[in-house]
Every structure is written in C-alpha cells, then in structure tokens.
C-alpha cells in the first residue's frame, strides 16, 4: 500500500519500499549500466590477477625446464599484460561503483526530504529535529559507504575467493579439497559474525541519532540553558550520550577482533601447501603447479581479511537504510487529495459536532509500525521512530462536540482560557490536523473533500509561535506569494506597520534574519508575519494571538490594517485584546474544548459567566448585570 502524503511530485521515480533489501536494490537497479560495468570490470580484474598467479607458476616451470629459447620472456610479457589489464579493469570498475554510490546517497537523501515534506504535522510533532538531521546526513552517507567501499569489497571478497578456487580447480582438481573446506567454514563463521554485529551496529546508529537530537535541542535552547546556568548539566548529558556511542564502537571492535576466518585462513595455507607437496612427491603435479597453488591460496588472504571491514560497512549501511525507510514508510493521517475540490473559496465555515484530540494518529502510526516490523525480516526491533520521545502530551479530548456557523466575510473572535482549544480549533480549518468526530465544512464542502493545496493556499494563517526563515525580510514576507513584486511586498509591509522598522535595518528588505527570526523582536516578527498574511491575500485569514507582542500605539495602526484586510474575507481571530474583540461580528467562547457561549460582545457580557471570567481583569470595564440567556442557542432560560 502506498504511504499517504500531503505532498508529491508528478512523475517522480518510484522506489520499492516494501523491505530494506528491496529498497536498496531498487535504488541500485535505477542505474543498471553502472552496476553492470562494476561487476564486469571487477570480474575481469580478478581473472587477470588470479591468472597472473597461474602464469607465475608457468614461469617457474619454464626456469626449471625451458620449453623454447625465449619461453620465459613470453611468460614475463604475458604477466605484464594481465597485470596492466587488472589495473585498468579495477579503475573502470571503481569509477562505476563510486558513481553508483554517490547517486544512491543523493537520491535517498532527496527521497527522504520529499517524504518529510509530505508528512503530517502530527508526525512532525513527535520527531526530534536532531534525529531527523542525523538520518538525512549521516545515515544517507552510510548508504554511499555501503556501496563503496562496502559493496566493492564484498564483491572483491566473493570474486577473490571464487576466481582463485576456479584456477586451483583447473590446475589440479584434488587441490580444491582444503580451500573448499575453508570456504564452507568461512560462510558459517561469517554468518555468525554478522548476526552478532547487527544489533551492535543498529544500536550505534540509533545512539548517533539520540546524540544529535540532544545536541540540536541544547543549541536551539541555548538561551534557556544559559539563563538557567545549566551548562554543567548539559555537558554531562552530552558526555553520557557520547560515551555510550563510543562504547558501541568498542563493542564492535571486540566482535571484529574475534573474527574466526583469519585463523581458518592460516590453517588453510599450511594444509594446502602440505597437500600440494604430497601430490608433488607422488609425481602427480609439477613444481610450477605447487608454486601456482601456493600463490592462489595466498590470494585468498586479502578477501578474507578485508571482509571484516566490508561486512561492518554493509551492516552499518543496512541499519541506516532501515532508519531512513522507517521515516519514509511512516503512514500519516492525510494525503494531498489532488483530485479533490479545487474552486475559489467564498469563506463560509461550519463546524458540525466536531471532536478532536491530538493523540489519534499516534495509534494509527503505531499500528502501521507494528505491521511493518512483523511483515519484514529486514526490519529492526519494534521501537518507535524517535525512541524516548513523549508520544503525546495529552491523550484526552481537546475539542468536544463543537458546532457553529460563520457566514462568509464575517470576523469572528475566539476567546477562552489558556489551553481551552482555541489554536486547535483553527488548526482544523486548514487541515493541519483532521477531526476525530463530526465535520468541518468550508463553503458547505467537508475540508477532507477539498484538494489540500487549494484549501491551504486560500487560507492565510499567522501562528501563535511565529516562524521566520533565515532568509531576507523581503523573502520572508513573500513566502506565500513568491511572484510578488517589491512594490507589493512593501505595500503589505506598510499595511502591517512593518515598513518603517524594516527600513531602519542596514540593508532594508534585503536584511537576512537569524534562524527562526532570532534577530528580531517578538513584535517585529508579528508584523512581518502580518505582512506575509496580507500579501498572500487569502479568503480566510486566521490570526492566532498575532498582536500580543505589539504595543498599544502600533496595535491601533495594525488594527486599522486588519480591518482593511478583513474586507471581503472571513477572519478568525484569537485574541485577548478587548479592543479587537469588541468589533467582531461574532465571538465564540471556548471552555475546556466546548463551546461555552457564542454571540456579540454586549450579548455575552450580559449572559455568559465564562466570557465575563475571561475579562475579569479588565477593571475599567463596567459589567452589566448577568442575564439568563443561552448564548449558544440564543434562547432565554
């Protein structure tokens, strides 16, 4: 089953992600020419190299018993020719393998990045950025190492064993006895070795992710760390994680040191020599053949030795592939619904008995994860995507049985105590999350029936935590409208009262802001976000506490701008500012995820204890006596 995604690219190359093995193989098979030339040229190189041992044996025979006057010279020239052939073939084979490795790494990184863009907000809520970074950088480069040197050396190992055996066989078939026993024992011990290595390398990769996640968190929160003087604690935490990472390498070293094939190889050399000498004394083979066989058995040393390294690198690549694939295959709750409704929006919003909790997708992804693990022999033990993360902060219902209707073009204020579900409500309108029960309709059509792109591009939103990219101020304002001209950007900034302070920056609109907007004040960030929202000219504008960090004088000006921007569009406004709430057409009062009351300011002041409670701190407000009116239905009690 294809994984759902909120973003996809038409005509993108499809990889087989059913298991780690098929995923790696589908990546490598994308470039059949490089793969073929890698195998063909390496086979050629090994045939030349092992063939040179046969020729060296011939040379020995030629010295002891010359067949013709310039026989030795001919053999010497032949040895030179095959050695040059070996070098040339190796070079071309290596070049093909390197190209294949570099493309695999780049493709996998791109595939991972695109899949991350398509994952739901709920999915990203649970990930640690540092761990994702580790997967996108270190784990993808482990994939390249899996091809070169990993796959390359593994191929050398196989060819370096098979080709000499073939030449030993054609020299004298009985001489295969000892090397064949070696090969059988080699396969058995190598399999045991790999089984022991796998859990250590997998844990090592996971630990690297954790180490990186911790590092990212501390650096992002450096201000808090410094302000709380927690440097010693953070240092110790990092040291513990780094030490654990190192310990896995030491464990790997122990396993590698006990690699039995090297010992077996030593025994094989001795026994093969004895066997060849015995055949020689029986008169069954010539001295030259003894030299050939000893030379060919010597050739086995390199593949035996190098296979320790090759297997470790391949194992690390497989563990990394598993980590990357777990992200790619993680199912999320939504897809882009590109065939859905894609019409200009009027801006009418209806909530019908809406229920919502943040925990719903966790269950779904966990089910999917279990299935993936049960269904694939390649998959690791059932750990979560980012082990150690809180799966959800709140498993309880955030919104409950919420129903209301907002006609197109109206301005609605949403008020309620902190944590009452105001932000959650707005997140359902643009399908950042999906409802658990009931429906959200825009222009009478369920948001799930809309094309996600059409829906989101017509809804502008200023989040509670404003995020700016580390680009120029101008680019940040034009983020939702990349084709906007400089004049349009400036007029949006003027409307949001941002133009003056932007012009005060050394490079004006070209000033690059710090990562996440750290070089700007909270109020400046809010005004840039307002300009961004104005510029994208949405049909529905959602403002989540977007003037909280703005002083009263600027606020008055911004309010005028918002009022102007509000013309002809639906505005959902979360705010604690009485001045803004007053002029809303409708006020929704939320209490613990339920609609406690709805109405205009005057109505609610008279009828809703919750509404009065929200404004209890406005001492200057003269509250009229409380009347008995049901503010949700409008009926008198």
List residues near ligand ATP by CB under 6 A: 125, 358, 392-394, 398, 416, 418-424, 464
CB of 418 to Mg ion, least distance (A): 7
* Close Cβ partners of 253 (under 8 Å, ≥ 6 residues apart): none
Select 8 or 464, whichever has its Cβ closest to Mg ion. Answer: 464
DSSP codes joined into one string, 493-542: HHHTT-HHHHHTSTTGGGPBPPGGGTTS-HHHHHHHHHHHHHHH--SEEE
- The reply on whether position 464 binds Mg ion by CB under 5 A is yes
CB of 452 to Mg ion, least distance (A): 23
CB of 420 to Mg ion, least distance (A): 9
- The reply on whether position 423 binds Mg ion by CB under 5 A is yes
Please give the backbone phi and psi of residue 9, each rounded to the nearest 5 degrees, phi first.
-115, 130
Select 361 or 555, whichever has its Cβ closest to ligand ATP. Answer: 361
Per DSSP, the three-state class of 591 is strand
Strand order, beta sheet including 570-574: 459-462, 540-544, 570-574, 411-416, 586-591, 594-599
CB of 518 to Mg ion, least distance (A): 21
Residue for token pair 């000499």: 164
CB of 541 to ligand ATP, least distance (A): 17
First-to-final CA distance of the chain:
54
Select 464 or 494, whichever has its Cβ closest to Mg ion. Answer: 464
Please identify the residue of the shown chain whose CB is closest to the bound Mg ion. Answer: 423
CB of 354 to ligand ATP, least distance (A): 13
Select 135 or 610, whichever has its Cβ closest to Mg ion. Answer: 610
CB 382 within 8 A of CB 369: yes
If contact means CB under 5 to 8 A according to the sort of partner, which of Mg ion, ligand ATP, none does residue 421 touch? Answer: ligand ATP
The conformational region for residue 416 under phi > 0 = left, psi -120 to 50 = alpha, else beta, is: left
3-class secondary structure for 418-442? CCCCHHHHHHHHCCCCCCCEEEEEE
- The reply on whether position 22 binds Mg ion by CB under 5 A is no
Select 6 or 156, whichever has its Cβ closest to ligand ATP. Answer: 6
Q: Spell out a b/e string for 175-207, using b for 16 or more CB atoms within 10 Å of the CB, else e.
A: bbebbeebbebbeebbeebbeebeebbbbbbbb
CB of 542 to Mg ion, least distance (A): 11
Select 120 or 218, whichever has its Cβ closest to ligand ATP. Answer: 120
Encoded tokens for 142:
């482990």
If contact means CB under 5 to 8 A according to the sort of partner, which of ligand ATP, Mg ion, none does residue 26 touch? Answer: none
CB 512 within 8 A of CB 472: yes
Select 143 or 588, whichever has its Cβ closest to ligand ATP. Answer: 588
Encoded tokens for 156:
């050398």
In sequence order, what are the beta bridge partners of 590?
416, 595
If contact means CB under 5 to 8 A according to the sort of partner, which of Mg ion, ligand ATP, none does residue 90 touch? Answer: none
CB 104 within 8 A of CB 35: no
CB of 126 to ligand ATP, least distance (A): 9
- The reply on whether position 417 binds Mg ion by CB under 5 A is no
Region of 39-47, 332-340, 400-408, 423-431 interacting with Mg ion (CB under 5 A): 423-431
Select 390 or 482, whichever has its Cβ closest to ligand ATP. Answer: 390
Region of 278-286, 352-360, 418-426, 551-559 interacting with Mg ion (CB under 5 A): 418-426
Select 392 or 401, whichever has its Cβ closest to ligand ATP. Answer: 392
If contact means CB under 5 to 8 A according to the sort of partner, which of Mg ion, ligand ATP, none does residue 636 touch? Answer: none
If contact means CB under 5 to 8 A according to the sort of partner, which of ligand ATP, Mg ion, none does residue 125 touch? Answer: ligand ATP
What are the C-alpha distances in Å from 575 to residues 70, 406, 477? 100, 18, 22
Q: Which helix (H) or strand (E) holds 209?
A: helix 177-220
In sequence order, what are the beta bridge partners of 437?
355
CB of 599 to ligand ATP, least distance (A): 19
CB 623 within 8 A of CB 606: no
Region of 239-247, 302-310, 417-425, 470-478 interacting with Mg ion (CB under 5 A): 417-425
If contact means CB under 5 to 8 A according to the sort of partner, which of Mg ion, ligand ATP, none does residue 214 touch? Answer: none
If contact means CB under 5 to 8 A according to the sort of partner, which of ligand ATP, Mg ion, none does residue 475 touch? Answer: none
Cα torsion 232, 233, 234, 238: sign: positive
Select 286 or 423, whichever has its Cβ closest to ligand ATP. Answer: 423
In sequence order, what are the beta bridge partners of 570?
540
CB of 574 to ligand ATP, least distance (A): 7
Binding site for Mg ion (CB under 5 A): 423, 464
């Amino acid at each position: 089953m294809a994984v759902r995604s909120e973003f996809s690219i038409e005509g993108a190359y499809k990889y087989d992600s059913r298991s780690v093995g098929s995923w790696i193989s589908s990546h490598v098979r994308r470039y059949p020419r490089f793969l073929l030339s890698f195998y063909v040229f390496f086979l050629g190189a090994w045939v030349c190299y092992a063939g040179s041992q046969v020729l060296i044996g011939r040379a020995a025979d030629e010295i002891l018993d010359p067949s013709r006057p310039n026989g030795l010279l001919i053999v010497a020239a032949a040895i030179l020719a095959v050695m040059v052939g070996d070098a040339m073939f190796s070079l071309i084979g290596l070049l093909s393998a390197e190209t294949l490795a570099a493309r695999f790494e780049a493709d996998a990184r791109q595939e991972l990045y695109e899949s991350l863009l398509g994952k739901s907000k709920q999915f990203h809520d649970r990930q640690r950025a540092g761990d994702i970074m580790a997967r996108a950088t270190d784990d993808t480069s482990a994939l390249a190492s899996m091809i070169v040197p990993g796959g390359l050396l593994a191929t050398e190992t196989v060819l370096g064993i098979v080709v000499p055996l073939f030449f030993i066989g054609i020299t004298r078939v009985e001489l295969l006895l000892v090397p064949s026993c070696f090969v059988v024992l080699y396969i058995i011990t190598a399999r045991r070795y790999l089984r022991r290595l796998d859990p250590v390398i997998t844990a090592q990769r996971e630990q690297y992710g954790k180490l990186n996640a911790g590092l990212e968190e501390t650096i992002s929160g450096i201000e808090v760390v410094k302000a709380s003087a927690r440097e010693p604690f953070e240092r110790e935490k990092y040291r513990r994680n780094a030490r654990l990472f190192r310990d896995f390498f030491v464990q790997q070293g122990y396993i590698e040191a006990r690699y039995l094939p090297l010992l077996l190889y030593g025994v094989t050399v001795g026994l093969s020599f004895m066997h060849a000498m015995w055949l020689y004394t029986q008169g069954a083979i010539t001295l030259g053949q003894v030299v050939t066989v000893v030379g060919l058995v010597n050739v086995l040393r390199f593949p035996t030795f190098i296979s320790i390294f090759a297997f470790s690198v391949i194992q690390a690549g497989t563990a990394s592939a598993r980590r990357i694939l777990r992200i790619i295959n993680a199912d999320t709750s939504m897809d882009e619904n590109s065939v859905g409704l894609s019409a200009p929006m009027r801006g009418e919003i209806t909530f019908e008995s809406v229920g919502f909790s943040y925990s719903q997708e966790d269950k779904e992804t966990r089910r999917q994860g279990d299935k993936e693990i049960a269904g694939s022999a390649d998959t690791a033990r059932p750990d979560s995507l980012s082990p150690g993360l809180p799966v959800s902060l709140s498993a309880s219902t955030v919104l409950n049985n919420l129903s209301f209707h907002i006609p197109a073009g109206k301005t609605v204020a949403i008020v309620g105590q902190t944590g009452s579900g105001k932000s959650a409500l707005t997140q359902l309108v643009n399908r950042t999350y999906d409802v658990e029960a009931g429906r959200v309709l825009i222009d009478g059509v369920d948001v799930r029936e809309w094309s996600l792109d059409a829906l989101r591009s017509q809804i502008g939103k200023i989040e509670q935590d404003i995020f700016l990219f580390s680009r120029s101020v101008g680019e940040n304002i034009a983020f939702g409208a990349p084709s906007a001209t400089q004049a349009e950007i400036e007029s949006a900034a003027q409307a949001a009262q941002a133009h003056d302070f932007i012009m005060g920056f050394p490079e004006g609109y070209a000033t690059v802001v710090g990562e996440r907007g750290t070089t700007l004040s909270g109020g400046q960030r809010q005004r840039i976000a307002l300009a961004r929202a104005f510029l994208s000219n949405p049909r529905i504008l959602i403002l989540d506490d977007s003037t909280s960090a703005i002083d009263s004088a600027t606020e008055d000006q911004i309010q005028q701008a918002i009022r102007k921007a509000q013309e002809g569009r639906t505005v959902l406004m979360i705010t604690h500012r009485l001045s803004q709430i007053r002029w809303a057409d409708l006020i929704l009062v939320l209490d613990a995820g339920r609609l406690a009351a709805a109405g205009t300011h005057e109505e609610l002041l008279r009828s809703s204890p919750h509404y009065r409670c929200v404004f209890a701190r406005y001492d200057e407000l003269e509250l009229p006596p409380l009347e008995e009116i049901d503010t949700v239905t409008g009926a008198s009690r």
